Amino acid sequence: MQFLFPAFLSAIAVISIPIIIHLFYFRRFKRVYFTNVRFLKEVKEETSNRQKLRNLLVLLMRCLAIIAMVLAFAQPFIPLSSGVKKGERAVSVFVDNSFSMNALSKEAPLLELAKQRARDIVSAYGVEDRFQVLTNDFEGRDQRLISKEDALSRIEEIRSSPASRDLSKVLIRQQQGLNTGKQENKTAFVVSDFQTNIADMAKFRDTLIEVNLVPMRAVQERNVSIDSAWFESPVQILNQPANLLVKLSNRSDEEASDIRLSLRHDGQTKPVGAVSIGARGTRLDTVSFTILHAGWHEARLSVTDYPVQFDDDYYFAFYVAERINVLSVNGLSQNKFLDNAFLGAKYFKLDNADARALDYSKFADYQLIVLNELSNVSSGLANELNTFCQNGGNVLVFPSQSADLKFVQCFPAKFCCRQSRRI
């Protein structure tokens, strides 16, 4: 057994204080002579023996309490091995520079503290040792052993990165870097906040490398992020309001209140409002805005959240066509109800075609294909419709009343089937 602070063992001398108290400061009884009564003498001897035993137990407890306090301050430990590894050593230090390390501790961001821990580790070794400094970026220059001075310089260059690696892959990378040298003593350090989604170190097996984990802990773990966003309508129309549904997630154990949500679109930032989300809960909000021009649009949703801010922005893009081209493939005859439905919508342009005379090469010019009262779908047409859907198109099916609906089962999920009814 060894002690981390052996100097505290000198405080064991304090054990003499209860011994002195026991020997010199107990009450002295004055002897009084009186008539010789045998029974009183027996009572006195019995009471004195009990008192001595009680005092000895109290003395023992005091001594044990002092010894326990001294050992606690000295911090004893059992070393892993009795032998000390000598010779040049190869040391690999991984500094987690993912966005989660931007969280704050009591002193500074976790990334700055991690860099300081890495500097302390490198400084604890000799100038003859070789080092590898690794980050989530997995840069090629980090896959070799460098000198102590170069390692300290490399640590200063570490910056936050969007990359994130599983710790099992990090340890394999460290193993590969350590094996590039001829040193027999190999040690790996992992400085990270050990997020649950990357902590899979159980997959790594190598008993020849000593692995040391250096955890970093943030003061606050409150975090609100934008989980996902989608449009209420699959087709966005020019000069019409578009409703965007936004799902917010609270990943902490405390309620998040006054979380402000905003949308930046077409160079303008529109504040949506403030929302509150319960602990470990989600909240669905609606953002409405007007689309003023056709083509591709880029937008960004943002929330104000502190201290974890790397997931506060949600970027998305969408396309708005100047006109929606619709092809109606008719089985029996042209459907006047479809013609009237699209006649009032100037944003849609409807073309009719006979199912027996189709030009499959023109399917790419349409965004929607309507199968109008087809009693059956040929294998060629089914293959073309599958390809059309895989390229982003949509198909609406109005089968004939005499049609066998089993043919719809071969269609992908983007097909929509409605039973037609004549009036």
Q: Which residues contact 258 (CB under 8 A, 6 or more apart)?
A: 274, 276
- CATH number reported for the structural domain that contains residue 352 in this entry: 3.40.50
Order of all β-strands in the sheet with 313-320: 268-277, 256-265, 295-303, 313-320
Residue 340 lies in a domain: yes
Tell me the C-alpha distance between 81 and 109, whole Å.
36
Looking at the 3D structure of the chain, how many domains does it have? Answer: 4
- CATH number reported for the structural domain that contains residue 311 in this entry: 2.60.40.10
330 and 385 within one domain: yes
Residue 115 amino acid letter: K
Domain boundaries, position 149: 89-215
157 and 269 within one domain: no
344 and 271 within one domain: no
42 and 9 within one domain: yes
Place of tokens 């997931």: 311
Tokens of 334: 């042209």
Domain end (from 25, 43, 77): 77
Tell me the C-alpha distance between 95 and 161, whole Å.
11
Tell me the C-alpha distance between 200 and 192, whole Å.
13
109 and 31 within one domain: no
Do the beta carbons of residue 168 and residue 177 sit within 8 Å? no
Q: Which residues contact 166 (CB under 8 A, 6 or more apart)?
A: 198, 200
93 and 63 within one domain: no
Helix or strand holding residue 267 (H, E): none
Residue 373 lies in a domain: yes
Residue 423 lies in a domain: no
Tokens of 165: 């690696």
122 and 194 within one domain: yes
Residue 422 lies in a domain: no
Q: Which residues contact 283 (CB under 8 A, 6 or more apart)?
A: 247, 248, 250, 275, 276, 277
Tell me the C-alpha distance between 220 and 110, whole Å.
12
- First-to-last C-alpha distance (Å) of the chain: 94
pLDDT tens-place values along the chain, 423 residues long:
777 778 878 888 888 888 887 777 655 556 666 555 555 555 556 666 777 788 888 888 988 988 888 888 888 877 665 455 566 889 999 999 998 888 777 677 889 999 999 999 999 998 999 999 999 999 999 999 999 999 999 999 999 998 999 998 999 999 999 988 888 889 999 999 888 888 887 777 777 788 999 998 876 667 898 999 999 987 888 888 899 999 999 988 888 888 899 999 988 998 888 889 998 899 999 999 999 998 999 999 999 887 677 788 999 999 898 888 999 999 878 888 888 888 877 788 999 999 888 999 999 999 899 998 888 888 888 889 989 988 888 898 888 877 666 655 555 544 554 444 433
Tokens of 173: 């990378």
pLDDT for 400: 81
Tell me the C-alpha distance between 299 and 312, whole Å.
14
Residue 13 lies in a domain: yes
Tell me the C-alpha distance between 329 and 400, whole Å.
12
At 120-141, the pLDDT tens digits run 999 999 899 999 999 999 999 9
pLDDT for 261: 93
238 and 206 within one domain: no
User: What's the pTM value of the predicted model, to 2 decimals?
Assistant: 0.49
Residues pairing with 275 in the sheet: 259
Residue 26 lies in a domain: yes
pLDDT for 421: 41
Helix or strand holding residue 205 (H, E): none
200 and 187 within one domain: yes
Residue 244 lies in a domain: yes
DSSP letter for 174, please: H
